[in-house]
Amino acid sequence: MEEVMNFIMRAFELAKDHEQELPNIANNPEMLFSSIDEVEKAFSSAKERLMMMLSSQHDTTTTTTTKGSNSFAQILSHDVFMQNNHDHHGQMGGSGNSMHAHSMNQLLLMQHSFEMLRSRGTLMIGEMGGRDVEGLEISKGLEGEMQGIEESPSRPKKSSRKNDMEKRTEMFPAPQIGNTEMPPEDGFTWRKYGQKEILGRKYPRSYYRCTHQKLYLCPAKKQVQRLDNNPNIVEVTYRGEHICHKSLTAPSSYPPPPNLLVNINTTQATIPPEAWPPAVNLGLRGGNSSGGPSTSRFGIDYPVADMADAMFNSGSSSGNSMESLFHLSDDKWEPDEKIN
DNA sequence: TTCATTTGACCTGC
DNA sequence: GCAGGTCAAATGAA
């Protein structure tokens, strides 16, 4: 295990090094490619060894509640949970290895986030035909709310809780490092607007809405709640669909690149290149990201996690996924989030 | 200065 | 009346 962690830590270090060099090599695609290739190989080595290790030792039956099946994230999550719940887990147990657990969990979160993104992106493609209608209906609902606000002299009328907003619940592994209350990365930017103790629940429920709710009237919301019997799992309830990314100027919430989708299901229709948000900021942000403590950003930035995902899923010898990230950098799409 | 989070109060459905 | 959901002022961070 130590060896695996060394590979992982090495990969992270490489990524950080390249982040510092990025401004100098930003205009040199060859240098960029070789830098990424280096990081990719480091991650690939770690992945391969980890897979070998897991295949030889992973003999327990998993009853995890996390989303997806037989995924890398799931395997990892199981190990992380095993370690947390039973501190005697063979190679990883013991407080002295907390850093290892943290790195493992980082990997888990990274991987899981992108599984989410992919699944969501695939869904969007599949449902592309109906989205406009759905979005229109939601907009109408909001229009009604706005009218209500105008009519109400004091406090705006609130939307009915029994609205027709689609509701779906998903389980995620909870972050165990840093701000453990931070909701899992799911590719959208969220703003917390409330937290409430729920009767009969051990942990408070947090309420989030799309950051661009006001700007684009995006109705998407989500509730985040830890499970009573397993704080390592958070239950995320999504309500409403994002419509902000449908705006040409909307700064966030784009589906994952088409070629990543192909990795999941090659029979899925692919998004035409021109539909994909082009501006790729390759800022490999470290732990001290400036995005704010509980927001997650995918739309315009591709942090380390993005690259790691491409590495984890591209195979050790193929550079396609990474290329896919860089191909996008030619277009001219300017984030306007900070302009206002 | 701007933007996100916190938190008590308010609103609404049951 | 209660509980869940939301608002908005206060506060803090960058």
At A165-197, the pLDDT tens digits run 677 888 877 765 545 556 566 677 889 999 999
Q: Please provide the DSSP assignment of A113-154 as one string.
A: HHHHHHHHHHHHHHTHHHHHHHHHHHHHHHHHHHHHHHH-SS
| Closest among A32, A33, A39, A36 to A10, alpha carbons compared | A39
Q: Which amino acid is at A34?
A: S
| Closest among A29, A12, A7 to A307, alpha carbons compared | A12
Mapped onto helix, strand or coil, the DSSP state of residue A232 is coil
Give the nearest nucleotide to A183, CA to C1'. Answer: B5
Residues of chain A with pLDDT under 70: 1-8, 11-12, 16, 18, 22-23, 25-27, 29-33, 36-37, 39-165, 175-186, 215, 244-340
Cβ(A340)–Cβ(A290) below 8 Å: no
H-type alpha helices, A152-191: none
Task: Please give the angle made by the CA atoms of A277, A281 and A286, to the nearest 5 degrees.
Answer: 135
pLDDT of residue A290: 34
Name the pairing type of β-strands A233-239 and A221-226: antiparallel
Cβ(A187)–Cβ(A113) below 8 Å: yes
Q: Is the CB of A29 under 7 A from strand C?
A: no
Q: Which amino acid is at A327?
A: H
Claim: this prediction has a pTM higher than 0.75: no
Please state at what angle helix A320-327 crosses helix A29-57, rounded to 10 degrees. 140
Nearest residue to nucleotide C5, by CA–C1' distance, is: A161
pLDDT of residue A8: 67
Q: Where are the domains of chain A?
A: 2-114
The spacing between the Cα labelled CA in A213 and the C1' in B11, in angstroms, equals: 20
Backbone angles phi, psi at A339, to 5 degrees: -75, -30
Which helix (H) or strand (E) covers residue A194, if one does? strand A190-196
Nucleic strand B interface residues, CB < 7 Å? A 154-155, 157-158, 160-162, 181, 189-196, 206, 211, 292-295, 338, 340
Between CA A290 and CA A140 the distance in angstroms is 35
pLDDT of residue A202: 87
pLDDT of residue A194: 92
Q: Which of residues 150-169 of A touch strand C (CB under 7 A)?
A: 155-156, 158-159, 161
Show which positions of strand B are touched by protein (CB under 7 A).
2-14
Show which positions of strand C are touched by protein (CB under 7 A).
2-8, 14
Which tokens is A234 given?
């958070």
